[in-house]
Copies of this chain bind each other. A is one copy, B any other.
Amino acid sequence: MTTFDLVIQNGTLLTMDPENRVIENGSLCVSGDTISHLGDHPPQSHDALKTIDAKGGLILPGLINGHTHAAMSLFKGLADDLPLMEWLNHYIFPVEKNMDADFIYTGTQLACAEMILSGTTCFCDMYLFEDQVAHAAFQSGLRCMVGEVLYDFPSPNYGDLESGFAYTEWLIDKWKDNPLVSIAVEPHALFTCEPELLKRANQMALSHGTPLIIHFAETLAELEEVKKRYGRTPLEHLEELGLAGPHLIMDHAVHLSSSEIDRIAEHGIRVIHNPESNMKLGSGIAPVPQMIARGVTVGIGTDGSASNNNLDLFTEMDMAAKLHKVETMDPTVMDALTVLKMATIEGARALGLSHETGSLETGKKADIIIVDTNKPHLTPMYNPFSHLVYAARGQDVSHTIINGRLVMENRQLLTLDLEEIMARAMEKSLDVKKWVSNP
């Protein structure tokens, strides 16, 4: 008789697999960190160390947040509705100047709590003190890809750029055998990184076989700045420096010409779309339907909580679906299934993690969420994909399982002490207020 570590039953399985199989009244079995069986019933003779009753809800792959600055959860609501430069100069920069490792650790724990509570099982982070981010995420049980931000100016974490490259090498080595943590090389943006920095970061990513991740074509001001400095568009600049390739992940990719979309597809570059942040900062609307139509792999992310101001991928999906419909005046673009894919299997592909996560398939890691649909706003249910994108919210997730480990059960976090984290976050917010008022 087979003994599974975990069996989930009595729910509709949305596999997000290549056939997009939907299995009503399905069962899913986990052995160790891996999905070992799924179908319309469990194997005939089996035992389970733990059984979860999905109570008629939806069982789907955990959501993947393709672009975050997790620790910025400590800044949410600090400053909104401001011109970009005022927001940066009077709020974000004075705070970032003062941050330390403990600040980042606390902010990331806060973000991890919010992510697990809203059904995210994997995130991709770019910020400072990323060893702390990896540490906090690993403790929480989240899967993550992280990278230390590299730029032309001194960092409050590593100091000069040379130390930044050394720090990144150290991260890659330190976390190389960790089952949950991957490291990427992450230069900040074309207007904050000199060509030499970019080329060296690119070489480092290629030599280690890790992704190279960069903020790209987020604002019109960035386009102007790159044009002024180099006489090229951002994509031309990347191509010229030899960075354009399948190892590259672009965050934002808002301002692109039609031919540039074609070239992004040809290069095999992957894109993370951040609709709420792009909207809130007034940056623009990324041509996502066009990118998907031309075969670009596009995931979805929240960006940091300072420009969102939440990490709920359900509302991010809702916003993405609706934004592109009104932008194109076409209600058929970005249908619910397409958008849910961006937050699951396409998000996994965008991060290069689709061998282990993003869909429910035997042999993949068990990154699974259960959505409780026994609520008035999810009753009746004609189409589960529609409900997940247009009606559900993060708070409808009842269970979160990552790498086979149950990290939230009936909305109770099992890996994090929520009251203690919130108390520390409140303390850190007093520091933030001080730093902002005495910059």
Contacts and interface: CB of A to CB of B under 8 A. Distances in A.
Interface stretch (A196-204, A351-359, A371-379): A371-379
A377 B310 contact: yes
Nearest to A308: B390
A81 interface: yes
B376 A326 contact: no
Interface string A309-340: 11110010011011101101111101110000
Nearest to A326: B279
Contacts of A421: 376
B391 A325 contact: no
A326 B110 contact: no
A84 B331 CA distance: 8
A74, A322, A323, A387 interface centre (most CB from chain B within 10 Å): A322
Contacts of A387: 76-77, 309
A82 B336 CA distance: 11
Given A382-B78, A391-B309, A376 B429 contact: no
Which secondary structure dominates chain A's binding surface? helix
Given A311-B377, A331-B280, A382 B429 contact: yes
Interface stretch (A142-150, A156-164, A206-214, A281-289): A281-289
A85 B84 CA distance: 41
A396 B312 CA distance: 13
B114 A312 contact: no
Contacts of A238: none
B433 A382 contact: yes
Nearest to A379: B422
A139 interface: no
